[in-house]
Structure 1
Amino acid sequence: MLRPITAGVDGSPESLAAAGWAAREAQRRHAPFRIVHAWEWSPHPSVTVPADAGQRHWAHRILREALDHLRLQYPDLHVDDQQVPVLPSAALHDASAESDLLVLGSRGISGFTGYLVGSVALQVVARAECPVVLVRAEQRSQDEHIPAADGRPSTVTPYRDVVIGIDLDQPCDEVIEFAYEAARVRGAAVRLVHSYRPPTLYAVGTGEISGPELAADREHSLEGLIRQWHDKYPDITTTGTANQGRAASHLLRSSQDACLLVLGRRRLRGHIGAHIGPVTHAAMHHAPCPVAVVPHD
């Protein structure tokens, strides 16, 4: 049985955009789709809860409005819904354990909205059992596609590229395969982006590889990786770049014309506290396209 695509909703524009993205992904994958709203009763409820509304009633209303919004846009899609009166971080972690994909809303540089605030956001992204996709409030279905010939947004033109950040020294099959599967269901191309540090000023005479040699080595490794995955996905066009400099800068530049940016996140067994690397942090805050964070061993 296929596991569902799950979207967390909290009544915010960000979460509704995430639910819409998740609905389209469920249609592309022919997968079950559900939305989850998590809340915890508090004697001092959030300011987002009207003073004359009970917390449970308000939670029901948020879920109902999200369902109405989705049924209006996707009338042929079956939507399951779940309301969980527990801490949102716990509910979303549990949802990730039984989902194929977890989709959440993101506000970008100002942080997350609703229940995704500070440490909660880090816990969800850093500890989820399945890939997590973060979607901006302004994200629309036409943003995933190349503009029409006249420059106008379109939903019938080809999809933009799926971009993946690659560590050529330790390429991860789970992360790469996620990107290729995302491209496959869209009929999109894949673009591999690798960044490397320049050699130190004291490389000469120390046995350290020189700048031109390092660049050639990175290009050769990238070409080999592209050939390897082309054999598995021969119908998907794959390109790649190996760039000297900061990974975050190159990935953010590449994400400007992507439909999805895919990054890996290593599972840390027994690790206390949430941990997300600086490149993923930068992408979560600044990338204009949806960002997928894929856990791997």
Structure 2
Amino acid sequence: MGIKVAVGYDGSDPSKVALHWATEYAVASQAGVRIIHAWIWPLFTHDVAPVKGVADSGLRHAAEAILSEGVELAQEYSHGQEIEPRMIAGLPADVLRQESLDADLLVVGNRGLGGFLGKLAGSVSVDLSGACPCPLVVVRAERGEGKPVVACVDGHLRSSKVLEQSVRVAQTLQTKLRIVHVDPSAPVWKRHTPAQKHGHDVLRNAMLWVQDLAPDMAVTEELLSGHSVATALVEAGADAELLVLGAHRREGHPGTLATVLTHAHGNVMIAR
């Protein structure tokens, strides 16, 4: 299969939700699934072999069991999709970044290992949001019928990627598209006044772009206001299947992405 969906799996409940979402998306897009388990212990100890005289013991065996569990779950969810298991030693964000170089999409849970390992790994989704080689989906919730894909546009060049990938996902999931733009400079009661001309222009151009790309797609637009762009985006994505944001590079504000990923109620996609 030419299309590939990569997904991080560590055995935690959030990673199981992410695996389910990724596999369902792979089925809908006729893609193969690469299940990636980042094995962190070899970074800290060489003692990973089985304990002498104790069957099914040792850190390596535990990691292999986690990956096998992920494969079994993916097989339950899939319809004969190609499944490729990968167990790589390293910190999760580094491993996922490297193993998704040839992927069309990387899917991770909103949080993974807790306690000691979680502190070592840090915030994987926030780390990946700044330097993932392909579009990234951070999953918090299972698929929901009828939920829209919400594309967040800001008038920069990155908005074309947001729209292109939002359309693709909406078509794959057979759902509608909602385009939003946040104007943080004006209060809510001025939302529809001439002072909001720039925001309306951004939305109109985005609508024209989508209509040219996918003439039959059900699409709506909305101009949002608020002092905090991140807060407005979190609220916009509360009832969405996916909230799609652009990857903010040098000219952007990486703090917005981190805030949205931390406080989002639903699933978030970082377009690239």
Cα distance in 2 for partners of 1:32, 1:98 equals: 12
Q: Which of 171, 179, 182 is residue 184 of structure 1 equivalent to?
A: 171
1:281 is matched with 258
In the TM superposition, what is the alpha-carbon distance from 1:55 to its structure 2 partner?
1.3
Aligned length: 255
TM-score, normalization by structure 1: 0.76
2:51 is matched with none
Question: Is the CA contact (8 Å cut-off) linking 1:106 and 1:134 kept in structure 2?
Answer: yes
Question: Is the CA contact (8 Å cut-off) linking 2:153 and 2:180 kept in structure 1?
Answer: yes
2:68 is matched with 64
Query: Does 1:28 pair with 2:15?
Result: no
Root mean square deviation of aligned Cα:
2.9
2:88 is matched with 84
In the TM superposition, what is the alpha-carbon distance from 1:199 to its structure 2 partner?
6.0
Deviations 1:48-72 (A, max 9, x none): xxxx931111110100111122223
2:16 is matched with 16
1:54 is matched with 58
Which residue identity lines up with residue 235 of structure 1 in the other structure? D
Structure 1 gaps of 5+ residues are: 46-51, 146-158, 201-210, 270-274
Cα distance in 2 for partners of 1:194, 1:243 equals: 6
Cα distance in 2 for partners of 1:102, 1:171 equals: 19
In the TM superposition, what is the alpha-carbon distance from 1:258 to its structure 2 partner?
0.9
Deviations 1:221-267 (A, max 9, x none): 31232123212111111111112222222222221211111011134
SS of match in other structure, 2:90: coil
Which residue identity lines up with residue 256 of structure 1 in the other structure? A
Task: Give structure 1 regions of 4+ aligned residues with deviation exceeding 4 angstroms.
Answer: 113-116
Cα distance, 1:268–1:224 mapped onto 2, change above 3 Å? closer
Cα distance in 1 for partners of 2:213, 2:184 equals: 30
By percentage of residues, which structure has more helix? 2
Cα distance, 1:236–1:225 mapped onto 2, change above 3 Å? same
1:262 is matched with 244
Q: Which of 203, 211, 223 is residue 204 of structure 2 equivalent to?
A: 223
Cα distance in 2 for partners of 1:223, 1:17 equals: 36
Cα distance, 1:61–1:21 mapped onto 2, change above 3 Å? same
Cα distance in 2 for partners of 1:247, 1:267 equals: 17
TM-score, normalization by structure 2: 0.83
Question: Is the CA contact (8 Å cut-off) linking 2:30 and 2:81 kept in structure 1?
Answer: no
Q: Which of 253, 268, 272 is residue 291 of structure 1 equivalent to?
A: 268
